[in-house]
Amino acid sequence: MAQESSQTVPESIRMVLIGPPGAGKGTQAPNLVERFKVCHLATGDMLRSQVAQKTALGLEAKKIMDQGGLVSDDIMVNMIKNELTTNPACKNGFILDGFPRTIPQAEKLDQMLAERGTPLQKAVELQVDDELLVSRITGRLVHPASGRSYHKIFNPPKKEMTDDVTGEPLVQRSDDNADALKKRLAAYHQQTEPIVDFYKKTGIWAGVDASQPPQTVCTSILKCLGQA
């Protein structure tokens, strides 16, 4: 009987979510976390958390960021390693979101995970046309404290510009405008898309049409993971 249930929900899932800004990574990751009881390692949140906690890595990263520099791949990989080691939620696995963004990062990540005996099982790419992303992103609203996101057209809050749960005001991020997005998309195509080929070669890549409704996208991701 136990064997049957372990086939329904895997004991662990170790995956990376790849996709351009606005593809829905922030929408899909919480669904997967809920289903698999794993940790969601969104690199921006992780970086902010380590800086706030004043960990050795956080202090090092803050010094670099204060000087306008980019945090090194080694620091990011060590932060992920630190989370995997110390965060109880990572016991059943993890969903990486926002990292790796380049092939050298993917290689360093693979090496660290191999040393821990927890290699990636899946790299799922959320695929959406740039034109659709522009309309998605420019209508995005965020509740800063929780990270909950809404959309003026596709997923509006019950009360205009107000978080459904707390009643606090929603904001539009300063970089959620068409010009900023086009720059972010250009950087994504140039730097991050090559990692799709990297994961195709290792045989763990799967692509999902992320222009569909969120529930359909979620079902497609579960199919990639052998769960639907």
Pick the catalytic residue: 14, 25, 122, 136? 25
Check whether 140 is labelled as a binding-site residue. Answer: yes
Whether 148 is catalytic:
no
Pick the catalytic residue: 101, 108, 122, 136? 101
Pick the catalytic residue: 63, 173, 182, 223? 173
Is the separation of the CB atoms in 30 and 40 below 8 Å? Answer: yes
Check whether 71 is labelled as a binding-site residue. Answer: yes
Angle (nearest 5°) at CA 171 between 30 and 59: 70
Pick the catalytic residue: 37, 81, 184, 200? 184
Whether 25 is catalytic:
yes
Check whether 44 is labelled as a binding-site residue. Answer: no
Rounded Cα–Cα distance for residues 97 and 42 (Å): 5
Whether 140 is catalytic:
yes
Check whether 35 is labelled as a binding-site residue. Answer: no
Is the separation of the CB atoms in 154 and 136 below 8 Å? Answer: yes
Check whether 173 is labelled as a binding-site residue. Answer: yes
Whether 116 is catalytic:
no
Long-range contacts of 73-78 (CB under 8 A, 24+ apart): 73/102, 73/104, 73/105, 73/108, 74/108, 76/43, 76/47, 76/105, 77/105, 77/108, 77/109, 77/112
Check whether 148 is labelled as a binding-site residue. Answer: no
Which residues does the annotation mark as catalytic?
25, 101, 140, 173, 184
Binding residues: 22-27, 43, 48, 69-71, 98-101, 105, 140, 149-150, 173, 184, 212
Binding residues for AMP: 43, 48, 69-71, 98-101, 105, 173, 184
